[in-house]
Amino acid sequence: MVVRGAFNHLLRPGLRKDFRDSYNQFPEEYSRILRVGTQDRAHIEATHLAGLPRQPLRGEVEPVAYLDPVMGDKIEYVDSEYALGFQISKRMMEDDLYGKAKQNSKWLGRSTRLTQEYLAAALLDDAFDGNTFTGVNGDTLCETTHALLNSAAVGSNRLATDVQLGITGLQAAYDLAENTIDETGDPIPIMLDTLIINIADVWVAEQIAKSELEPYTADNQINAIKSRKSYNVVVSHYKTQGNDWFLRDSSLHDAHFAFRVRPQFVDSYDEDTWAAKFAARQRINVYFFDWRGWIGSNP
């Protein structure tokens, strides 16, 4: 609880009135990384189907072969609730000369926003481990051996050799995307349009995206990435893993940030302690199901 003893410097008339009581924030990032939406039930259920394979050769009087679609297991995703608050004594609010003690609501709003950003970044941090977030078949978001529902083949969306962000890595990522397959092992198109990076890779990403010639080479080789591909760059300031990077197809990917309850802010007053209470809560479900639409490297 905020009381006069802890915040007595706010009661002194000589204190500078322009002291910092909040910080600027980065533009919203989580909505550029995950699909943001809502859910209206206690949990989300997901399953998938394997489509039909190629048609077999049929003789002139042979009957047509009929196959049933293959359905996978159902997976449920449950949201989590996050909440925080603070209290201010009645006497503190009465004696605060600058009206700053009660402005902790600014920090409460910042706390709510930071929770959202770190939750989205956590899915990326766990993309190669699967300690918290797993999708179909219990797979991690990015790996080299995704089991398929109706094929003995395996899918891959992780570079076979994890490399740092660079021309070689991006070329390998685009090549890998071209080999993406569906649940029957047949190829499907992927249009990679978003590069998600850490702060340390900002300059490399800029050099690759804007150089007419291939960076870090002495033979004036053209920058094939720039001439053939285009992508948006999203910098994550909230990730804790510092060297992994991702390319993503915005139209295909299946990673979600679902609000069960959007941020709620409530005020109340405790007549026994003569204290004002300010609290915020939100319910969020961060999850992914299908791995397709993501290509990742974890050097």
DSSP structure class, residue 187: B
Map out the domains of the chain as residue ranges: 26-51+76-297
Distance in angstroms (rounded) separating the CA atoms of residues 280 and 265: 4
Pairing label, strands 194-198, 232-236: parallel
Distances, alpha carbon 183 to alpha carbons 58, 143, 176, 255, 261, in Å: 24, 16, 17, 18, 34
Per-residue pLDDT reduced to its tens digit, 264-294? 998 888 888 898 888 999 999 999 999 999 9
- Cite the DSSP H helix spans in 179-220: 202-210
pLDDT of 2 over the 90 cut: no
Per-residue pLDDT reduced to its tens digit, 42-57? 999 998 888 888 888 9
Per-residue pLDDT reduced to its tens digit, 189-215? 999 999 999 999 998 888 787 665 566
Pairing label, strands 70-71, 146-147: unpaired
CB 161 within 8 A of CB 297: no
Tokens (6 digits) for 164: 């740092």
Share of the chain above pLDDT 70, in %: 86
Residue bearing the bigger pLDDT, 4 or 297: 297
Q: What is the pTM of this model?
A: 0.86
- Cite the DSSP H helix spans in 200-283: 202-210, 224-228
Distance of CA 200 to the CA centre of its chain: 18
pLDDT of 6 over the 90 cut: no
Per-residue pLDDT reduced to its tens digit, 148-205? 999 999 999 999 999 999 888 999 999 999 999 999 999 999 999 999 999 999 988 8
> How many C-beta neighbours within 10 Å does residue 160 have?
10
Domain 26-51+76-297 in CATH 3.30.160: no
> How many C-beta neighbours within 10 Å does residue 99 have?
10
* Average pLDDT over all residues of the chain: 87
pLDDT of residue 214: 60
